[in-house]
A = this chain, B = another copy of it.
Amino acid sequence: MAAPLPVAVVGASGYTGAELLRLLFGHPHCDVTGLYARKSAGRAIDEVFRQFVGLSSQTVEAFDADAVANRAQVAFCALPHGHSATVVAALRERGLLVVDLSADFRLRDADEYAKWYGSNERPTHPAPHLLEGAVYGLPERYRAQIADSKLIASPGCYPTSAILAIAPLIDRGLVATTGLVVDAKSGASGAGRSPALAVHLPEAGEGVRAYKVAGAHRHTAEIEQELGAAAGGTDVRLTFTPHLLPMSRGILSCVYAAPTDSSLSVDDYRAALVDAYDDEPFVAVLPAGTSPDTAHVRTSNMAHVSVAYDERAGRVLAMSAIDNLVKGAAGQAIQSMNVAMGWDERAGLRGVAAFP
C-alpha cells in the first residue's frame, strides 16, 4: 500500500474545516499533517471542536505557506472569499495541489468576480493570473479537467444543488434558459460559525424566511455561469431565492423552468437525469413520482435529484437535496481531490446518510 498523502486544511476552525477533518480522518489514502486557522491558532482541534475529543488533539497553527509546503502535498482552503486567493496563490507557487472552497476562483471572469465580490478595500480579483488554470470543481460536470488541474475551485453549496438539478435538462435543450427560478432552502450551518442574530436559536429555531433575494446573493453569479455554459455559452439571468430553515444541515433546491417542447412528458425529463447521472457515484435519480428530502442525504456526499412536470401550468420542476457541508462543501472538495489524484472517486466518501 502506498504511503498516505499528506494533506493540510487551511481554515480549520469553521464548519467546513471541521467537516473536511471529519471526512479526511477517515480517508484511506490521506494523512492530515497540518491544521491552520487564524483565530484558533495555538489551540488543540478538540478544544475548538469538541467532537474530536479522544480522536485528535492536533494543534491548530497560524498559516505559513512554507510550513504547509514542507508538510503537505495537497491543501484544502476553507477561508472567506477575498482572503483565500492570496493563500491559494502562495500554495500554488510552492507546487501544492489546492482545493479552494472559497468563491475566489469559481467565476472564470475577473470582471464578474469584481462585480459580485469586489469591495472598497479589494475592488479587483486578488490573483487573476490563476483564474485560467482553475477548474470549477463539480466532478459531474468537469471531471476530466479536474483530473488535470492543480487548482480546483470547489463550488458553492447552493450552486451545487441548483446545477445538479437542472443542468442536464439545459444540456439537452429541454428547458428554456430564460425565466429560470431557483428557490432554495438551507440549514443554518451554511451561515458559518460566527454567532449572529439571524442564526440565534431563539430567533431562527422555529421560523423560515428568505434572505438576499432578487439577485442579492452572490451564488447567483456562479449558478448563472454554469447554466450559461450548459446552454452552450448563452448568457443566463435567473432569479435565485435562498431561505434559512430551522435545521442545521441540508439544502433543497427547486428549479422552475419552462419546457422548450410542450409535447414532452415527465418521463422525458426524468430520462435526461438518468442519462446524465447513471454512472455517477454521488448523484441518485429518485424513483418517478418522488421528491428529494434533505434528511435522506444528511452527513453524506450524495445528491438526490428528481424532476416533475406540471402539465397544467406548463412548468418543469427540477429538485435536488444535498448536505450543504458535504456534497455542498467538504465532501465535494474531497471528491475532486480523489479525481485529481486518480483514486477511486468514492474514497473516504462512502458514508451513508445518517437518517434519522
Contact = CB atoms under 8 A, between A and B. Distances in A.
Interface in A95-140: none
Contacts of A3: none
A66 interface: no
20 contacts: A22-B354, A26-B350, A49-B355, A50-B290, A51-B302, A188-B205, A201-B246, A205-B247, A206-B295, A207-B247, A213-B310, A213-B317, A214-B266, A237-B312, A238-B313, A239-B310, A239-B315, A246-B246, A249-B354, A298-B354
Given A51-B353, A286-B53, A356-B249, A185 B203 contact: no
A167 to B, nearest CB: 18
Interface string A32-48: 00000000000000010
Given A197-B193, A243-B185, A311-B215, A248 B356 contact: yes
Interface stretch (A78-86, A151-159, A250-258): A250-258
Nearest to A300: B51
Contacts of A52: 352
A297 B246 contact: no
A139 B255 CA distance: 33
A202 B308 contact: no
A321 B209 CA distance: 8
Nearest to A195: B195
A257 to B, nearest CB: 10
Contact of A54 (B26, B205, B291, B302): B302
Contact of A313 (B47, B53, B237, B292): B237
A332 interface: no
B304 A208 contact: no
A241 interface: yes
Interface string A177-204: 0011101010111010101110111111
A353 B201 CA distance: 17
B208 A25 contact: no
Contacts of A215: 310-313
A185 B207 contact: no
A317 B287 CA distance: 31
A51 to B, nearest CB: 4
Contacts of A300: 51
A55 interface: yes
Contacts of A290: 50
Contacts of A166: none
A299 interface: yes
Contact of A188 (B202, B220, B249, B283): B202
B179 A208 contact: no
Interface in A226-254: 237-239, 241, 243, 245-250, 252, 254
A202 B179 contact: no
A19 B353 CA distance: 10
A191 B299 CA distance: 22
A248 to B, nearest CB: 5
Contact of A245 (B180, B208, B239): B208
A239 B298 contact: no
